[in-house]
Amino acid sequence: MLNAFKTAFALCIAFIIYFLVTQVSHLSIDTSLKDLAPQFANDADTRFAVDHVSTSLEKRFVLLAEGKQATNAVLTLSKQINALDNVQVAPDSSQVLERVLAFYKPYRFHLLSEAQRQQLQGNTPNLQTLIANEAHQKIFQITASPRLLNFDEDPLGWQSDFLLSRLSGLSQSSATTTNTLQTHYVVFNLQAEKPSLPSQQSLLKSINQVIADTQKEFDVSIKRSGVFFFATEAASQSKSEISFITSISMVAVFTLLVLIFRNIGPVILPFISIALGVSFAMAVTHSVFGAIHVLTIVFGASLIGVVIDYSLHFFYHKSSELSSHKNHRHLLNALLLSLTTSLIGYAALSMSDLSALKKVALFSCCGLFMAWLSVVCLGDYMTKNMRAPRQQLLHAFVSTLSQPLKAFSAKTAAATFFGLVLCGAGIALLKPPTSDDPRLFFNASDSLLAQEAYVSTRISDFEPGRYILLKSTPDRSLQDISNEFLQTIDRQTDLKPEHFVSLLNWVPSRSSQQANYNLLESIYLPNGAIEQLLSKLGADNAIALALRKSYHNAKSQSLDLATTAKAFETILPPLWLEHNNQEMAFILIRKGTDTRQLHSIAEQVPGLDYMNTLAAATSVLKEQRQSASTLLLLAYLLVAGLLVFRFKRLSAIWMISIPIASTSILLIGFFLTGNTLNLFHTMALFLVLGLGMDYSIFVKEMRENVSITHQSIFLSAITSLLSFGLLAVSSIPVVSAFGITLLIGNLSNLIGAFIYSEQLSYYEQ
């Protein structure tokens, strides 16, 4: 058996070396916030569409300037930030307009607004004269819409009006100027696909510098909006916390071990096991997922506390004066059983739908396994000629702490246990207050949140995080679905078609385009509206002749969504996309639209999904929390089964009383303090189970040497608390929730282990 472990150990070492040699230069730390959000869409196509759009939006950020010289400030911002690496200013309004006009010009004979279509379809007498008179009136009006096309291309101004109606339909807000205050903004696009954290931080630093300089130079206020700012802030915060937690944890554990073991030698194995465990975990996680998420590393840092347990138990028992061959066998059995129960606890995290937690699960299991192999394979070599640890000191300390617990008679212990379990179960059944808000994942600064909200009110006209997704089917095009949706909307009292905007507004169906083309023929005919207008203005009829020719040449032109989306790809987020031969399009919802009916409307129209990302994410997190609670019960059952199988006695189930009691104490504590439970509290309870089982297994397996066992458990609990406990001070809400749960849970485990040990000794005597 040991040979098999040694072979596995050698293979893992080889893999680490291979990873270090080939991949270390490509090591990628993922900071995407999307990774922290649950997958709220069940089908793959919807997920693809949502990911596609959100990836595009995550690359955009906006800087909004206000002040007397906001325009010039924005010009400077654009120029200076554009000069930075990996960021590019989005096309400005004139460039966008040029592209839109150039794209639409060949199709202009196929486009009509609803009002223009109705006018041409009507039976108005002298329709052509009426149209010519209206155009004549309009050309002099000072409030007439601006002409986007030259007079000789669009004398009536109809195509110009069509384009303007679409532009104004998409946005009513824009930069504004008053006598004293200007408001202008500029959009930037990030170029790098997956920028490293240092490059993100460097870019942010440069942007901050440009903003500060510009604010000073032009005396303007500049506000920012974009995922980039939140992601970089979160990543930087995580990184600094990793450094803090790891450093404090390492120093504290190192000092403790040197103090106990009296020389530096015994400290080597724990740190080798940690180094190998974390290296192997990183290598596997990076190889499987292509990157390591910062959250994985934050949680990974907490592994130190668990990984070190194996070497501590190993050292403490091996270096004991009472160490024997029998003890060694028991020790290996205890280590193996401990690993198995911990793996069950950690592996349960992989059942979450959260990508980040899956990575944590893989990282943790791999780290634990490799650390365990290191201890088992290298332990014997490292403990040769080792001095006995300061058992007297630790013994005195542990004895003092555990003395009050000896007062627990069997009956008192059982009554306390059942009392706790009853209270805990009662609270669980009463459904304690919970929180499933996905915003718990982020701890954005108030300043960033305020700026984001402010910029959103100034330049965004659409509901954030709410949209409608259309998906074509073999027998229904996107236009068909869109038309059905708009007809349904028309029947609602509180909703209007103009509340909804999509790329489909820009591209009439093929049949509509053909109908428009046919309707427009009359205005280009001899004595049609165009000839009459030119006559009224006293202009040369050559313009009418040239237009008639252009109209006939454009007969075969037809605008489609794919071409439009392609033409707009540098201007717009991907509001249309094709995936697996299915077309999909997003409909944006104007701010202030009553969205309550949209869910039921989406159910009525096939091929239509109403997406409310916040509500959906909250709902999925709730499902995950409830599912995790069920999985926790399952994990307890599996561990109980494993214990019965291992010890061939039903009474072995008592071993799980330690984590059960700890979990009950946590539930009671949260209930009494009014804390709301979230998914991450539940996830931490898996580790409470794993750690509690470690202690009970060592109490059971190593009961022949109770004092040594108590000391090793105490030592390992202290090291675990040093790392897990530090997570409680994290400013990231979910990490803090994780840490607090483990801090209280593991302290309870320690106390429970001592009580269990007393009861075990009592019954065996």
Partner 1 sequence: MKQYCFSLLAQIREAIQIGIVFSLSLVASTALSQTNHPVSALDSLPKHCHFSAKFDQKKTLKSLPVPLKSTGKMFFSCHAGLIWETQTPIQESLILTRSEYQFKQQAESPKSTRLEVLDSIESRFLSRLLIGLMSADKHYIEQTFNTSSFSTTEVSLTPKDSFIQKAIKEIQITHHFSPEKLSISIHHTDGTLVNIDTHHVTVLQDQDTHMQQCLDTGSPEQHCLALFDPAKMAILLNENSGN
3-state SS, residue 486: helix
Q: Nearer Cβ to partner 1, position 224 or 317?
A: 224
Among 461, 480, 521, 623, binds partner 1 (CB under 8 A): 461
Backbone torsions φ then ψ of 590, nearest 5 degrees: -65, 150
* Cβ-count burial 313-348 (b if 16+ within 10 Å, e if not): bbbbbbbbeebeeebeebbbebbbbbbbbbbbbbbb
Least separation in angstroms between residue 547's CB and partner 1 is 11
Burial class (CB in 10 A: 0-12, 13-18, 19+), 150: exposed
Least separation in angstroms between residue 146's CB and partner 1 is 3
With binding defined as CB under 8 A, does residue 175 bind partner 1?
Answer: yes
3-state SS, residue 445: coil
Sign of the C-alpha dihedral computed for residues 592, 594, 599 and 602 taken in this order: negative
**Residue 54: other Cβ atoms inside 10 A:** 18
Q: Per-residue DSSP letters for 217-252?
A: HHT-EEEEEEHHHHHHHHHHHHHHHHHHHHHHHHHH
With binding defined as CB under 8 A, does residue 437 bind partner 1?
Answer: no
Residues 75-94 touching partner 1, rule: CB under 8 A, are: 75, 90-94
- The 59-78 contact track toward partner 1, x by CB under 8 A, reads -x-x-----x--xx--x---
The one-character DSSP state at 60 is E
Residues 559-618 touching partner 1, rule: CB under 8 A, are: 571-573, 586, 588
* Residue entry with tokens 């009136």: 137
With binding defined as CB under 8 A, does residue 129 bind partner 1?
Answer: no
Of 31, 380, 53, 378, nearest to 239 by C-alpha is 31
Among 3, 25, 123, 150, binds partner 1 (CB under 8 A): 150
Residues 217-256 touching partner 1, rule: CB under 8 A, are: 225
Q: Which stretch binds partner 1 (CB under 8 A): 162-170, 669-677, 721-729, 735-743?
A: 162-170
Q: Nearer Cβ to partner 1, position 531 or 694?
A: 531
d(CA 748, CA 21): 44
Among 537, 638, 642, 668, binds partner 1 (CB under 8 A): 537
d(CA 272, CA 274): 5
- The 722-761 contact track toward partner 1, x by CB under 8 A, reads ----------------------------------------
With binding defined as CB under 8 A, does residue 145 bind partner 1?
Answer: yes
Residues 93-112 touching partner 1, rule: CB under 8 A, are: 93-94, 96-97, 100
Q: Nearer Cβ to partner 1, position 141 or 385?
A: 141
Least separation in angstroms between residue 467's CB and partner 1 is 6
* Residue entry with tokens 């909004």: 64
Least separation in angstroms between residue 572's CB and partner 1 is 6
d(CA 62, CA 87): 12
d(CA 231, CA 30): 10
d(CA 106, CA 610): 35
Tokens representing 661?
A: 């009691």
- The 267-306 contact track toward partner 1, x by CB under 8 A, reads ----------------------------------------
Backbone torsions φ then ψ of 608, nearest 5 degrees: -125, 130
With binding defined as CB under 8 A, does residue 176 bind partner 1?
Answer: yes
Least separation in angstroms between residue 205's CB and partner 1 is 24
Least separation in angstroms between residue 120's CB and partner 1 is 17
Least separation in angstroms between residue 40's CB and partner 1 is 16
With binding defined as CB under 8 A, does residue 467 bind partner 1?
Answer: yes
Least separation in angstroms between residue 459's CB and partner 1 is 5
**Residue 531: other Cβ atoms inside 10 A:** 22
> Interhelix angle for 657-673 vs 410-429, to 10°?
50
Least separation in angstroms between residue 299's CB and partner 1 is 32
With binding defined as CB under 8 A, does residue 539 bind partner 1?
Answer: yes
Among 86, 456, 626, 736, binds partner 1 (CB under 8 A): 456
With binding defined as CB under 8 A, does residue 127 bind partner 1?
Answer: no
Q: Nearer Cβ to partner 1, position 140 or 381?
A: 140
Least separation in angstroms between residue 138's CB and partner 1 is 9
Tokens representing 38?
A: 């649950």
Q: Which stretch binds partner 1 (CB under 8 A): 148-156, 243-251, 353-361, 426-434?
A: 148-156
Strand partners, 29: 292
Least separation in angstroms between residue 584's CB and partner 1 is 15
Single-letter code of the amino acid located at 486: L
CB 317 within 8 A of CB 701: no
With contacts defined by CB under 8 A, how many residues of the chain interact with partner 1? 69
> Interhelix angle for 265-289 vs 2-23, to 10°?
60
* Residue entry with tokens 């994780």: 738
With binding defined as CB under 8 A, does residue 141 bind partner 1?
Answer: yes
With binding defined as CB under 8 A, does residue 53 bind partner 1?
Answer: yes
Least separation in angstroms between residue 167's CB and partner 1 is 5
Tokens representing 523?
A: 């205005």
With binding defined as CB under 8 A, does residue 185 bind partner 1?
Answer: yes
Burial class (CB in 10 A: 0-12, 13-18, 19+), 147: middle
Binding residues for partner 1, rule: CB under 8 A, are: 53, 57, 60, 62, 68, 71-72, 75, 90-94, 96-97, 100, 133, 136-137, 139-143, 145-148, 150-153, 164, 167-168, 170-179, 182, 184-185, 187, 225, 456, 459-462, 464-465, 467, 501, 537-540, 543, 571-573, 586, 588
